[in-house]
Amino acid sequence: MARSGAAPSTPHPTRADSAPGGPPAGGGFGSRLMRRKPVDRLVAEGGHGDGGELKRSLGMWQLTMISIGATLGTGIFVVLGTAVPKAGPAVTIAFVIAGLTALFSALSYAELAGTIPVSGSSYSYTYATMGEFIAWLCGWCLILEYGVSVAAVAVGWGQYLNEFLDGTVGVTIPAEFANPFGDNGGIVNLPALVLVLLCMVLLLRGARESARLNTVMVVIKIAALVLFCGVAFTGIKAGNFTPLMPMGISGVSAASASLFFSYIGFDAASTAGEEAKNPKRDLPRAIILSLLIVTALYVLVALVAVGAMPWQQFGDTDAALAHILKEVTGQSFWAVLLAAGAVIAIASVVLTVLYGQTRILFSMSRDGLVPRIFSRVDARSGVPRANTVIVSLFCGVLAALVPLHELADATSIGTLFAFALVNVAVIILRRTRPDMPRTFRVWLSPVTPAIGFLLCGYLMTSLNATTWTYFGCWMAAGLVLYFGYGMRRSQLAREEV
């Protein structure tokens, strides 16, 4: 049932019990880095913001659609075109490897989401198990995962919008205003900026309204991909599958690391933990179900795509699937129809990932690690309005100015880092709180989470040096912010005084 109104005061633990099982509060520098937030307190604070509460209005299918909506989009419609030149026809194997990596982490997410159903996702899980410093690093990576991926997804939207406009009204947006600065003669990507701002307006209306629209868009984009498979299947040539691995296993690994971007978002349901009607039951189901549906679609579409067009041609266009339909059928109708589906599909990703980003910052703000404005909730709508506006403007400007390929790999490395921490959090919480009721339990723990951790590490090592440089700079900036602001202003720090 929906809840609204002012947030009741949440009792704060004393210094003696502020971090049960962890270092004593008020200790040395290392102890302050390791201070943990008790699981029971995390759950008790669920939904409470500054001035109002988030509303519990989302059921299991809506949560599943949020995860599918956040996942199924740019990865298959756009990034496929950059991954195929790395792996050749073996891109289908690369999808499977990336999917298995995501699955191991998804199982860990499912257990923790059912145990700690709060908005902070893996940030909150690490705060309860590994301490404030690691939680900050995880939250900082989630900002990279969600905030930057919104921009990356929005960049790809303009390519399919142009394909759709060209096929319907015979006009296209000039390259100067359809591409980020320095990319294909671009100055600013206006379609990407407009898309993010439209999604901002929708999110300001409330979670339930946004979830309903997202469900419609998810159905449309699944139908568009099924349509692609049906039409492109007629153009499959056996010769396009040989040689299977022209770049060897290293090429498949590199493609897997890039394609992991395609799975970013399956954890979006976990960011809705404080707006789900029955989070302990529904969150684990939504996470696993969404990943299975998305993986099946990815592998099927990739198999048909590389069978219908020689792999060497994939690097020539960002709208690869639409180009394939045009080549197979010899007419633009099917390509235009797919482009329309892609426009809706990518808009759905921006909507749901932007939602997830605002909820993660909401949790970090409630803990005092980022300014309080991000946890200020409108009492009438149950929406963190200032949070939504600030995040949307930041992502919109980023999408308008930064090229897609620079954003996609940077997003992947931040996500892999956060996912690796979630796998560790499962192992730690099993040891420190074995008595906690769990609606879902990872099979064969700790072996399964350990495998998930190692797979994330393996894919991180497959990313190029430039991506690691960007990641290092991002983490350095995060350390400056934590030691300059978050460490002293966190809620736990204030309670120690």
pLDDT tens digits, one per residue of 59-78: 888 889 888 888 887 667 76
**Residue 27 falls inside a structural domain:** no
End-to-end CA distance of the chain: 38
Chain position carrying tokens 């290293």 = 250
- Least confident range from 18-22, 47-51, 60-64, 441-445: namely 18-22
**Residue 25 falls inside a structural domain:** no
Burial class (CB in 10 A: 0-12, 13-18, 19+), 437: exposed
Q: What is the pLDDT of residue 18?
A: 39
Return the SS3 of 50: strand
Provide the token pair at 455. Answer: 């797979």
Q: What is the pLDDT of residue 16?
A: 34
How far is Cα of residue 104 from the mean position of the Cα atoms in its chain? 16
Mean pLDDT of 417-436: 90
Quick: pLDDT tens for 407-421. Answer: 666 777 888 888 899
Amino acid at 393: L
pLDDT band at 51 (very low <50, low <70, confident <90, very high): low
Average pLDDT taken over every residue of the chain: 81
Answer yes or no: is pLDDT of 203 > 50. yes
CATH at residue 73: 1.20.1740.10
Cβ partners under 8 Å of residue 299, min gap 6? 92, 95, 96, 99
Cα(92)–Cα(308) distance, integer angstroms = 14
Burial class (CB in 10 A: 0-12, 13-18, 19+), 218: buried
pLDDT band at 14 (very low <50, low <70, confident <90, very high): very low
Q: What is the pLDDT of residue 24?
A: 43
Mean pLDDT of 221-244: 88
- Signed CA dihedral, 114, 117, 120, 123: sign only: negative
Chain position carrying tokens 């998804």 = 106
Percentages of the chain per state (helix, strand, coil), in multiples of 5: 75, 0, 25
CA angle 435, 105, 109 (to 5 degrees): 45
**Residue 17 falls inside a structural domain:** no
Burial class (CB in 10 A: 0-12, 13-18, 19+), 332: middle
Answer yes or no: is pLDDT of 236 > 80. yes
Cα(368)–Cα(365) distance, integer angstroms = 5
**Residue 341 falls inside a structural domain:** yes
Mean pLDDT of 206-230: 86
Quick: pLDDT tens for 248-293. Answer: 888 888 888 778 777 877 877 887 777 788 888 888 889 999 998 9
Cα(201)–Cα(205) distance, integer angstroms = 7
**Residue 431 falls inside a structural domain:** yes
Provide the token pair at 127. Answer: 């705060």
Mean pLDDT of 427-441: 88
**Residue 199 falls inside a structural domain:** yes
**Residue 13 falls inside a structural domain:** no
Provide the token pair at 98. Answer: 């990336």
Number of domains in the chain: 1
Q: What is the pLDDT of residue 390?
A: 94
Question: Residue 223 is part of which domain span?
Answer: 56-491
Would the pTM count as exceeding 0.85?
Answer: no
**Residue 251 falls inside a structural domain:** yes
Cα(212)–Cα(141) distance, integer angstroms = 29
Q: What is the pLDDT of residue 407?
A: 63
Answer yes or no: is pLDDT of 110 > 50. yes
CB 425 within 8 Å of CB 445: no
